[in-house]
Amino acid sequence: MVFFISTMKEYKNNINSKMSVLFPALTHRNFQYFWFGQCVSLIGTWMQNAGQSWIVLQITNSAFKLGILNAAQFLPTLLFAIFAGVIVDRFPKRTITIVTQAVLMACAFVLAALIWTGNAKYSYILIIALVLGTAQALDMPARQSMIIELVGKEDLMNAIALNSAIFNGARIIGPALAGIVMASIGAGSAFFINGLSFLAVIYGLYKIDAAKTPMNESTGKGVLAEAAAGIKYITKTPVLYITLLLSVVLCVFSQNFNTLIPALAKNVLHQKELGYGFLMSAMGVGALIGALSLAVRSRRKPRYEAFLFGGGIMALFVLIIGLQHNYIISAVLLMAVGWGMVTFNANANNIIQVNAPDQMRGRIMSALSLATGGMIPLGSIYAGYTAQRFGSSFAYRLSGAIGVTAVIVTTIYYYYLKRKQSSFSGLQK
């Protein structure tokens, strides 16, 4: 018996040792609560994302109206992101996140009720999307800037990669599960399951015993002045404004998946719920592979070139998708798009956080939210109109071509600055 207990302890120590090497962020107790809560909640979130896009397309039969819906959901981030960053810097990030997650849970239950009662009108879904977007405008910078408080700078990239892993693991499971649920017991159940899933993340946030106080108190200068200070810092820091500008372009033109994939599945590949769900999941497979590879390599010195390479791969394969009409090939290409997307986004997140001063991290992470989520309204309208007017395949070709061009131009500018400023390395040392 003693031998058995000793062997089990040794086995457990070996597992913990390997875990600390591969996934050091998970050795932090607070991050464990945060991460495992997200594991459950994000599956429900992706069920709702897939279900909402499909329901709207079924109700309206319009890619343009679907684009308008996606735009509405991210319009508050476009309008209020920088000001939201001031709030995030002033108040405890944990408290903000608990409140926003509760609002998101309520929205999911309302959507389920509307569908079950036969009142799921486009206008109602549009209003709920605006409420969701308002909560997300605060939730994204608060949640993302809290991570460094949970794990520190040394394990930040590992934590970001692990978050990307569960986000994209949920991207695999969620849409496929949504397709199964919608086809078997109805769309309302997909939204109800999402509402229940928020209980896990709220519990995890409640158990966190760090990050309860803001990084800095109000300077007394007012919201506008503090927001302007954050913008001024960004414009004077090349690594920040280059990263944010490329993120804006690729978000507008190459990451409109909630609009383009449903239109591709329905209008080009002639798929129904299950086919659409598995297309979304295929992209999630590639993204999960990218996230896990980043997590394993997170202790290596970050390179700005990885950020550029990820963006180039994503845009290139978006372009190639528009050149063919085969379901299996489309799924494989979407896997490559997913890999490039998570490599690009995770490196952007790490670059921004490492180069952000602690007292401005909320504002600068809000700028990243603006550059990504905030630009989705413009990208959704662009993608919806282009797909409706010229066809889904043309929208993919145009989006990919613009993205590839932007990556090439940014790469040239990056190396120009690197030669001009020998100290410019893309990351603080």
Tell the residue number behind the tokens 């905030």, with chain if given: 374
Whether residue 270 is contained in a domain is answered as: yes
Structural domain count of the chain: 1
Whether residue 425 is contained in a domain is answered as: no
Instruction: Name the phi and psi angles at 92, rounded to 5.
Output: -60, 125
Query: Which is higher by pLDDT, 406 or 214?
Result: 406
pLDDT at 309 over 90: yes
Whether residue 216 is contained in a domain is answered as: no
Question: Percentage of the chain surpassing pLDDT 70?
Answer: 88
Record the tokens describing residue 3, joined without a space: 């031998």
Rounded to whole angstroms, the Cα distance separating 149 from 25 reads 12
Distances (CA, A) of 288 to 115, 129, 145, 160: 31, 27, 22, 13
Least confident of 32-41, 87-96, 324-333, 354-363: 354-363
Q: What is the pLDDT of residues 113-155, one digit of tens each?
A: 998 988 888 889 889 989 998 898 888 888 888 888 888 777 8
Q: What is the pLDDT of residues 9-49, one digit of tens each?
A: 444 444 455 556 667 888 888 888 888 888 888 888 888 88
- Residues 307 and 347 sit within 8 Å (Cβ to Cβ): yes
pLDDT at 212 over 50: no
Q: What is the mean pLDDT of residues 359-386?
A: 80
Q: What is the pLDDT of residues 321-340, one digit of tens each?
A: 989 888 889 889 999 998 99
CATH of the domain at 305: 1.20.1250.20
pLDDT at 384 over 90: no
Assign 99 a pLDDT band (cuts: 50, 70, 90).
very high
Q: What pLDDT sits at residue 9?
A: 47
- Residues 314 and 262 sit within 8 Å (Cβ to Cβ): no
Query: Half-sphere exposure (CA, 13 Å, Cβ side) for 425?
Result: 9
Least confident of 111-115, 244-248, 386-390: 386-390
Rounded to whole angstroms, the Cα distance separating 241 from 192 reads 40
The amino acid occupying position 130 is: L
Rounded to whole angstroms, the Cα distance separating 240 from 247 reads 11
| Number of C-beta neighbours around residue 422 at 10 A | 7
Whether residue 146 is contained in a domain is answered as: yes
Query: Cα–chain-centroid distance for residue 34?
Result: 16
Assign 101 a pLDDT band (cuts: 50, 70, 90).
very high
- The DSSP secondary structure of 304-364, one letter per residue, reads HHHHHHHHHHHHHHHHHHTT---HHHHHHHHHHHHHHHHHHHHHHHHHHHHTS-GGGHHHH
Q: What is the mean pLDDT of residues 260-267?
A: 81
Q: What pLDDT sits at residue 265?
A: 83
Rounded to whole angstroms, the Cα distance separating 4 from 217 reads 54
Whether residue 282 is contained in a domain is answered as: yes
Whether residue 15 is contained in a domain is answered as: no
Q: What pLDDT sits at residue 219?
A: 52
Whether residue 3 is contained in a domain is answered as: no
Whether residue 1 is contained in a domain is answered as: no
Record the tokens describing residue 177, joined without a space: 């599960």
Assign 302 a pLDDT band (cuts: 50, 70, 90).
low
Record the tokens describing residue 34, joined without a space: 């945060």
Full residue range of the structural domain in which residue 321 is found? 25-210+222-420
The beta-strand segments (E) located in 63-122 are: none
Task: For residue 187, give the nearest of 311, 95, 51, 34 by alpha carbon.
Answer: 51
Q: What is the mean pLDDT of residues 371-381?
A: 77
Q: What pLDDT sits at residue 21?
A: 60
pLDDT at 398 over 80: yes
Q: What pLDDT sits at residue 18?
A: 54
Mean pLDDT of the chain: 81
Rounded to whole angstroms, the Cα distance separating 384 from 391 reads 10
